[in-house]
C-alpha cells in the first residue's frame, strides 16, 4: 500500500544495545526526516535527508546514526541506547522543503 | 534563530463552543506556517498551511488560521468544536536555517467537554 510505514510499532530494549528503527515510503519523496516526540518538548528533529546518500543533523543528533542508500528507506540507528532515548519516534517524508510532511504512525521505544 | 511558541499547553472547550489556539513565531524572513493535528497514537496530519497571499487560510475539518505579521502570530480557529477534535495541535514554521526542515512548537492539547 502507498504511504509511509515505520517498524516496529513498539520496541523495548536495554541500555547499551543497538537498535534500528525502520522507515519506508512509497511516494519517492526526496526528503525524509526523523523526529522524536517527548512530553514538554514537542517534536524535535534528529536527522534529515534531502536525497539518497545525503543526510544532515537536526536539533538532537547525538547518539543516533542514519543512512539513506535508497530513496525509499531511511533507517535510524541508536548505536548504544540510553534511557534518555526513551521516546516516540516519527519518520516523515515530503516532496520539497516546505511542502506537506507525511508522517508515519510512530515507533514507541522504551530503553530500560 | 527561528522558534515557535504555543503558549497554551492544555485547553478545554465545551462541545459546540468556538476555539482559538495560539501560535507565535520568530523568523527572519517571510515564514511558511503550518498547523498539524495529532490524534492519540497516530502520526501528525496537516490541517492547513500559509505560504503567501490571503492571510486567512482555510483548512480541513472546518479549521482556519490567520497570519498576522505585525503580531508574529498564526492562530488556529474553529467556530464550533466537535468531540472528535480532541487531539494535540502543533504549529510549525519553516524551513529552518539549514533550509530544509520545519520547526515545531511544543503543542497544545485540546480536550472537549460535553
Contact A25, A32 (CB under 8 A): yes
**Cβ-defined contact of A41 to B95 (cutoff 8 Å):** no
How far is it, in rounded angstroms, from Cα A111 to Cα A98?
Answer: 33
Three cell numbers at A39? 512530553
What confidence category does residue B99 fall into, taking pLDDT thresholds of 50, 70 and 90?
A: low
How far is it, in rounded angstroms, from Cα B56 to Cα A45?
Answer: 28
Interface test with A, best of B41, B44, B96, B105 (most A CBs within 10 A): B44
C-alpha distances out from residue A1 to A27, A90, B90, Å: 10, 19, 27
pLDDT at B101: 80
C-alpha distances out from residue A80 to A19, A27, B7, Å: 8, 32, 35
Q: How far is B39 from chain A (nearest CA, A)?
A: 10
A24-72 per-position pLDDT tens digit:
999 999 999 999 999 888 899 999 999 999 999 988 999 999 999 999 9
B3-28 per-position pLDDT tens digit:
899 999 999 999 999 999 999 998 87
Question: What residues of chain B lie within 8 A of the CB of A50, using their CB?
Answer: 100
Nearest to A43 by CA among B24, B106, B10, B109: B106
Average pLDDT over residues B41-46: 87
Average pLDDT over residues A10-36: 96
Average pLDDT over residues B26-39: 88
Q: Can you tell me whether residue B84 is helix, strand or coil?
A: helix
pLDDT at A106: 93
Amino acid at each position: 500500500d502507498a504511504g509511509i510505514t515505520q517498524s516496529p510499532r513498539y520496541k523495548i530494549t536495554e541500555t547499551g544495545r543497538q537498535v534500528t528503527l525502520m522507515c519506508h515510503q512509497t511516494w519517492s519523496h526526496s526528503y525524509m526526516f526523523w523526529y522524536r516526540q517527548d512530553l514538554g518538548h514537542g517534536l524535535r528533529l534528529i536527522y534529515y535527508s534531502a536525497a539518497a546518500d545525503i543526510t544532515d543533523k537536526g536539533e538532537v543528533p547525538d547518539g543516533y546514526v542514519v543512512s539513506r542508500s535508497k530513496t525509499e528507506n531511511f533507517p535510524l540507528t541508536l548505536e548504544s541506547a540510553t534511557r534518555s532515548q526513551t521516546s516516540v519516534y516519527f519518520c516523515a517524508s515530503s516532496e520539497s522543503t516546505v511542502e506537506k510532511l507525511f508522517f508515519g504512525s510512530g515507533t514507541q521505544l522504551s530503553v530500560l | 534563530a527561528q522558534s515557535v511558541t504555543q503558549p497554551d499547553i492544555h485547553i478545554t472547550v465545551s462541545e459546540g463552543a468556538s476555539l482559538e489556539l495560539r501560535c507565535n513565531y520568530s523568523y527572519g524572513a517571510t515564514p511558511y506556517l503550518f498547523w498539524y493535528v495529532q490524534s492519540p497514537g497516530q502520526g501528525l496530519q496537516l490541517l492547513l498551511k500559509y505560504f503567501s497571499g490571503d492571510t486567512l487560510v482555510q483548512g480541513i475539518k472546518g479549521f482556519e488560521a490567520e497570519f498576522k505579521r505585525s503580531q508574529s502570530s498564526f492562530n488556529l480557529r474553529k467556530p464550533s468544536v466537535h468531540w472528535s477534535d480532541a487531539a494535540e495541535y502543533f504549529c510549525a514554521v519553516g524551513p529552518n536555517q539549514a533550509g530544509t526542515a520545519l520547526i515545531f512548537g511544543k503543542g497544545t492539547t485540546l480536550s472537549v467537554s460535553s
